[in-house]
Amino acid sequence: MWDTLFTFAPPVLQAASVAVTAVFAVIGLRAWRRQLLGRRKIEIAEGTLLAAYKIKEAMAYIRNPGAFVGGSTRPRQADEPEGLASLRDSYFVPLERMQKTSGDFAEFEKM
């Protein structure tokens, strides 16, 4: 009887230890995967929040009415009256600012 026990016990113990190790490996891999996914979600959320703050500042810059006066890079026509040119320049300033801050909007859309 003891001979039979000693012949079957080592393979059974070895199989049990392999099964227990496999269970702990699966548990560990699942925890590692959750941690990686959670970290990635946090990075995306931080990037989105940062891009939203940049857009908020860009919108304040674009809509700033105090700086609509002055020169702009709008190409003028040769026969354009000065009053009309000044009016068109003031309309062009927000568009020019939008072009300058377009990278912030692209970053937000990417996130």
pTM (2 decimals)?
A: 0.61
- Secondary structure of residue 69 in the 3-state scheme: coil
Identify the pLDDT of residue 77. Answer: 80
**CA angle, residues 31, 35, 40, in degrees to nearest 5:** 150
Give the residue ranges of the chain where pLDDT is below 70: 1-2, 5, 66-72
As a whole number, the mean pLDDT across the chain is 85
- 95, 98, 94, 89: which is closest to 69 by C-alpha? 89
